[in-house]
Structure 1
Amino acid sequence: MLRVAWSKAYNHRLPDKHRFPMMKYELLPEQLIYEGTIKEDQLFAPGLLQIEQILRAHDADYWRRLSSQSLSAAEIRKTGFPHSESLIERETNIAAGTVECCRFALQYGVSFNVAGGTHHAFTDRGEGFCLLNDMAIAASDLLANSLASKILIIDLDVHQGNGTAQIFTGNKQVFTLSMHGARNYPAKKEQSSLDIGLADGTDDKLYLKILEANLKSVLDDFQPDFAFYQAGVDVLATDKLGRLALSQSGCKERDRLVLQLCRECRLPVVVTMGGGYSEKINDIVEAHANTFRLAQDIYF
C-alpha cells in the first residue's frame, strides 16, 4: 500500500508574494483522493523529529539559532522568506515525514512525502526556501540505524542540490546525483558525486536520453540499497524559473524511468516533491500527481 506523508503544517501561510507555491501542498492530496489514486487513510501525519536526528545532518549551532529564531537578517534573507515559530515547525514536520517514509519504503518498496526535497539546506545554513535538509536527515538516520548501507539520492529538480552535495561530501555511503539546469540557481554549484548540467531549452528526448544512460550507470556501479528521489517539476517548459523545456508527458516519462529502474533493482525509494513554479497551479499539481499515479501502477 502506498503510504504518503502529509500534515496541515505543510500548508503554512506566508505573505502573499510567497503563498502561491505553497498551494500545491493542500491541493495535491485533495486531487489524489478525489480521483481515487489514494484513499484518505493512506495519508499519515508525521510525528516529532528528534534533535539527534537533525544533528546528524546539521551543525548544532545552526540548529540552536534556527530553532530559537536568532539567525541574522542576512541569513534569513538568504532562505527566501520570513521566519516564525510555525515555519520552523513546518520544516521539522516535513523532515520527520521523510524519515518516517523510509520505514514504509522498506516495507512496500516506495513511499511519498507530499512536501520535502529541501536540497538547498547546508550543514550550517539555509538557502532557497530550504531550512532543514529532509533527505540528508533521513539518509543519515537510515545509516545510523543500519537500515541501509549505500544510499543513492536522485535529484532531478531543475536546481542543483547544492546543500545535499555539501552535507555528504566525502561520505562514501551516499551517492548524490544532481541533474539540473547548468545556468540556473545556484550560481555557485557544489560538487555532487555526479553533476549533470543541462543547457537551457533541453527537451524531452534529450533529457530522457541523458537521464537513462547516467542513472543506469550509477545503479550498476554504486549498487545502492536505498534511494531518495527528488522529483521537482520545475523542469517543465511552463515553469517560470526552470528554463528547460519538458512537456507534461516528458516529465511523466522521467518519473516512470526512475521508478521502474528502482523497482527493477528492488531498491526502496522515498519520493519528495521538490520545486514547481509554473504560472498555472493546475500544471504543477498535475505534474506532481503523475508521479503518484505512476507509483501506484508500477508498485501496486
Structure 2
Amino acid sequence: MHAYYADHFVLPLPEGHRFPMAKYRLLRDRIAQHLPGVSLQVALPASDRELALAHAPDYIDAIADGTLPPLAQREIGFPWSEAMAERARRSVGATVAASRVALHEGVAGNLAGGTHHAYADKGSGFCVFNDVAVAARLMQVEWARGDGGRTARPLQVAVIDLDVHQGNGTAHIFRGDHSVFTLSLHGARNFPFRKEPSDLDVELPDGCTDPDYLQALEQALDTLEQRFAPQLIFYLAGADPHEGDRLGRLAVTHDGLEARDRRVFDWAWQRRIPLVFAMAGGYGRNLDDTVLAQLNTWRVAWQYHQRWQNVRP
C-alpha cells in the first residue's frame, strides 16, 4: 500500500507553539516499524497549475514568495518560511499521488493532509492549501481526459470528513458543485465558530462518547448513500475526536476511533469505491495518543488494501 509523506520539511515554529509538528515523523517511524507492507514514499510538490484548480492565483503567489499579509499569516497559524511553502505544496502533492494510486489499487493515503480549513483565497487553522479540494478537482480532470470525452458526467467525489472540526474551507470551495458531496461530522461548539454549510453537516455535543458517535456516523453514511453515488472517496481520518485530545472536546476512545475507521473503509469496500485517506487533525495531550490513533487507521487501511488486491484482475 502506498503512503506519501513530506515530514522532512519541518517548519521553524517558535518555542511553545501549540501545533504538534513532531507527530508526522513519529507516525512514519511507527508505520515503518509495525507495518512493513506499507510503501513509504516522499511526496512531490503540487504545481501552480494543479493548485489553481482550487485556489486563487494571487494567493498561490503570495505563499510562494512570502508576501502574505501578517493578518493572513496569523489566520493560518504558521509564520511564513520557505519550508512552510514547500511543505504545503508537498502535502497537496501527497494527496494527489495517493488519489492516482487509489483509483487503481483501491486504497492509498497521505501521512499528513486533510487541510480542510483552507479556502480558495486564504488559509486558516494550520491549513495553507486544501489538499483534498485540489486532488478532487485534478482527479476529475484526469478522469475526463482518460474517458476521452465519451461521457459528460464528471467523476463523482465524496468527502467524508471526520476531523473534529468542521471542514469549512472544503465546504466553501465545493458549494454548488453537484459533482462533489461534502460530509462533515464534527463538534458543534468547536472551531471554526463560523461554519460553512456542507452538503451534510452532523454536529456532535461536547463529551460525545463511542456509541453516540458511531450511531451518528452510521446515519450520516446512510444519508450519503441516499443522496449521492460516489466513484471516489476522500476520507479525513482525524485523530482529534479522541478523549485525550487538547482541542477535541469529545470523548471517543481508541476503540471507538478504530471502529469508525473500519466502518468507513468497509462502507467503501462493500461498494467497491476507491478511497484516499489523510490524517487531518490530532492534538493529543499525550502525543502518543494521537500517533497511536493514526497508526490504527493505517493498520485498518492496510487490511482493506489487501482485500482490494485479492479482487483485482
Q: Aligning the two structures, in what range does the TM-score lie when normalised by the shorter sequence?
A: over 0.9
Summarize the alignment of residues 267-286 of structure 1 with structure 2, pairs less than 5 Å apart: 267-286=273-292
- CA distance in 1 between counterparts of 2:37 and 2:11 reads 23
| Paired residue secondary structure (1:183) | coil
| Paired residue secondary structure (1:44) | strand
| Paired residue secondary structure (1:17) | coil
Give 4+ residue runs of structure 1 displaced > 6 Å after superposition: none
Task: Please say if residues 10 and 25 of structure 1, whose CA atoms lie closer than 8 Å, have aligned partners that are also in contact.
Answer: no
In structure 2, the gaps of 5 or more residues are: 145-153, 307-313
State yes or no: 1:104 paired with 2:104. no
Could you say which residue in structure 2 is the equivalent of 1:118? 115
Structure 1 residues 142-197: Cα deviation after superposition (integer angstroms, max 9, x where no partner):
11122661000000000000000000011000000011000000110001111111
Q: State the AA in 2 paired with 1:110.
A: V
Summarize the alignment of residues 121-160 of structure 1 with structure 2, pairs less than 5 Å apart: 121-146=118-143, 149-160=155-166
Q: State the AA in 2 paired with 1:120.
A: H
Task: Out of 212-221 and 288-297, give the one that drifted further.
Answer: 212-221
Could you say which residue in structure 2 is the equivalent of 1:89? 86
Could you say which residue in structure 1 is the equivalent of 2:188? 182
State yes or no: 1:246 paired with 2:256. no
In the TM superposition, residue 14 of structure 1 has moved relative to its aligned partner by 2.0
State yes or no: 1:17 paired with 2:19. no
Structure 1 residues 83-119: Cα deviation after superposition (integer angstroms, max 9, x where no partner):
1111000000010010010111012111010000000
Summarize the alignment of residues 62-77 of structure 1 with structure 2, pairs less than 5 Å apart: 62-77=59-74
- CA distance in 2 between counterparts of 1:64 and 1:10 reads 20
Could you say which residue in structure 1 is the equivalent of 2:36? 38
In the TM superposition, residue 51 of structure 1 has moved relative to its aligned partner by 1.1
Task: Please say if residues 45 and 91 of structure 2, whose CA atoms lie closer than 8 Å, have aligned partners that are also in contact.
Answer: no
Could you say which residue in structure 1 is the equivalent of 2:57? 60
What do you get for the CA RMSD once the two structures are aligned? 1.4
Could you say which residue in structure 1 is the equivalent of 2:297? 291
In structure 1, the gaps of 5 or more residues are: none
TM superposition score normalised by structure 2: 0.92
| Paired residue secondary structure (1:43) | strand
Could you say which residue in structure 2 is the equivalent of 1:4? 3
Task: Out of 92-101 and 216-225, give the one that drifted further.
Answer: 216-225
Count of residues in Structure 1 that have an aligned counterpart in Structure 2? 297
| Paired residue secondary structure (1:270) | strand
Q: CA 1:252–1:83 in 2, change beyond 3 Å: closer, same or farther? A: same
Task: Please say if residues 45 and 86 of structure 2, whose CA atoms lie closer than 8 Å, have aligned partners that are also in contact.
Answer: no
Task: Please say if residues 263 and 299 of structure 1, whose CA atoms lie closer than 8 Å, have aligned partners that are also in contact.
Answer: no
- CA distance in 2 between counterparts of 1:10 and 1:111 reads 21
| Paired residue secondary structure (2:143) | coil
| Paired residue secondary structure (1:76) | helix
Task: Please say if residues 45 and 92 of structure 2, whose CA atoms lie closer than 8 Å, have aligned partners that are also in contact.
Answer: no
Residue of structure 2 aligned with 1:209, choices 215, 226, 230? 215
| Paired residue secondary structure (1:21) | coil
In the TM superposition, residue 218 of structure 1 has moved relative to its aligned partner by 0.6
Task: Please say if residues 156 and 179 of structure 1, whose CA atoms lie closer than 8 Å, have aligned partners that are also in contact.
Answer: yes
Residue of structure 1 aligned with 2:178, choices 147, 172, 184? 172
- Identical-residue share of aligned pairs (%): 41
| Paired residue secondary structure (2:276) | strand
- CA distance in 2 between counterparts of 1:154 and 1:79 reads 23
In the TM superposition, residue 19 of structure 1 has moved relative to its aligned partner by 6.7
Structure 1 residues 29-70: Cα deviation after superposition (integer angstroms, max 9, x where no partner):
1111112x1347x01112231211100100111111221111
